[in-house]
Amino acid sequence: MKLKKLIEDYDIEAVLISSKYSLRYFTGFTGTTGIALAFAEKRFFFTDFRYVVQAKEQVEPNGFTVVKVERGAIDTLAEYIKNSGVKKLGVEDKHVTIAEYSDYKSKFEDINFVSLGDSLEKIRMIKREDEIDKIKKAVEIADEVFKLVVPEIKEGVTEKYLSNFMEYHMKRLGGEGPSFETIIASNYRSALPHGVASDKKIEKEGFVKFDFGVYYDGYVSDITRTVYYGENPSEKHLEIYNIVLEAQKLACSSVKPGITCSELDKIARDYITEKGYGDYFGHGLGHGIGVEIHEFPYVNAKTETILEEGMIITIEPGIYLEGFGGVRIEDDVVVRKNGGEILNKTSKELMILK
């Protein structure tokens, strides 16, 4: 129904679905080679012999007819488009390469290509309950993985060791794998907002920041926890941790239908600024999650999207002090009728590991 409405809204005859995440969302396909053509009342999925059986299992329940490609997808597509009398075709222009567009222009005769912009991605903003259930499971696995990795935080082990340990258990517990490259940043490296796990060894008396997520049945989770490893956290360690924690809690408690993303960002940002660390919180407060790790809506100072029931966003303020360390705390939050439902169960209070 969502694709049918899109076709009507854009006054086009069909939509060409080509990006990895759109294909997963609309067709259910998890392979690497395929393209979909959707009309208001009929839908086709094109793939080669390697994926025909898989495609029939995954896309046919979603209303797509599988077409085995013999001479190349572009030629077969051109035939279907020509025979269907399509004059205006919606395309995911942000995901089409110059080479692909050149092929479209040369093969699809007399076609007016209509840019869909972010329209397919924005369809995914509001989640169905079955989607929310999958994200809840992805969060549950992430929570369990964090519980398992904490005892592994020891002097001399590397960040990469901890990352590999976590990713093994993600799959052991039923996940498909990490939803993005696992971030583990210790001591001075914790000041790197996206410091992926390195060969650095864990040392005492500093923060260890974990930012990771799990794919489960095509849907992601995204969690950040920062712990202190050692016996003597300084006043500054405690100060910035508690400021981030309070900002995060304030934002989580403010999630509700009707608030704009910029208003929500401002709540956390103003608190951190009032405490003197506004210049050290340089990224947005959060983002949507779903089949992709970063989805609409984006929760930052410039986004005026109004939160609606069924959206799932991250709340992840941080403070990063170069040469000293950094703190980020993140939960996945569902927008519900009466407020936000925090999916993560892992405690956010400072964990001091001696």
**Furthest C-alpha separation in the chain:** 73
Q: pLDDT tens across 226-252, in order? A: 999 999 999 999 999 999 999 999 999
Q: Output b/e per residue, 200-225; b: 16+ Cβ within 10 A.
A: bebeeebbbbbbbbbbbbbbbbbbbb
**Do 137 and 90 share a structural domain?**
no
**Listed range (76-80, 334-338, 341-345) with the worst mean pLDDT:** 76-80
Residue found under tokens 């608190």: 271
CATH assignment of the domain containing 38: 3.40.350.10
326, 243 Cβ separation under 8 angstroms: no
Token output for 130: 């079955």
CA atoms within 13 A on the CB side of 80: 26
pLDDT: is 99 or 71 the higher one?
99
As a whole number of angstroms, the distance between CA 115 and CA 101 comes to: 12
Q: Are residues 135 and 99 in the same domain?
A: no
Asked if residue 207 and residue 257 are part of one domain, the reply reads yes
Q: What is residue 171's DSSP assignment?
A: H
The tens digit of pLDDT for each residue in 177-196 reads 999 999 999 999 999 999 99
Question: Containing domain of residue 267, as a range?
Answer: 129-353
Residues 188 and 299 in one domain: yes
Residues 136 and 72 in one domain: no
- In this predicted structure, the answer to whether residue 76 has a pLDDT above a threshold of 90 is no
Q: What is residue 161's three-state secondary structure?
A: helix
Same domain (yes/no): 248, 281? yes
Specify whether 21 is located in the same domain as 158. no
Give yes or no: residues 119 and 133 share one domain. Answer: no
Check pLDDT > 80 for residue 71: no
**How confident is the model at residue 88, as a pLDDT?**
95
Number of domains in the chain: 2
Q: Where does a domain end: 62, 91, 123?
A: 123
The answer to whether the beta carbons of residues 10 and 33 sit under 8 Å apart is no
**339 pLDDT higher than 70:** yes
Q: What tens digit of pLDDT does each residue of 291-320 get?
A: 999 999 999 999 999 999 999 999 999 999
* Site of tokens 């549950």: 140
Q: Are residues 82 and 193 in the same domain?
A: no
Residue 328 three-state SS: strand
For 99-153, write each residue's pLDDT tens digit: 988 888 888 888 999 999 999 999 999 999 999 999 999 999 999 999 999 999 9
The tens digit of pLDDT for each residue in 21-70 reads 999 999 999 998 999 999 999 999 999 999 999 999 999 999 999 999 87
The phi, psi pair for 32, rounded to 5°, reads -110, -10
Q: How would you classify the pairing of strands 112-115 and 206-212?
A: unpaired
Residues 317 and 212 in one domain: yes
**Extended strands (E) in the chain:** 14-17, 35-39, 43-47, 65-68, 88-91, 112-115, 177-178, 183-186, 206-212, 214-216, 219-220, 223-229, 286-288, 295-299, 312-315, 318-321, 325-328, 331-336, 339-342, 352-353
pLDDT at 1 over 80: no
Q: How far apart are CA 301 and CA 324, in angstroms?
A: 27
pLDDT of residue 30: 94
Instruction: Report pLDDT for 75.
Output: 85
The residue-averaged pLDDT of 344-350 equals 98
pLDDT at 72 over 80: no
Q: 143 and 105: one domain?
A: no
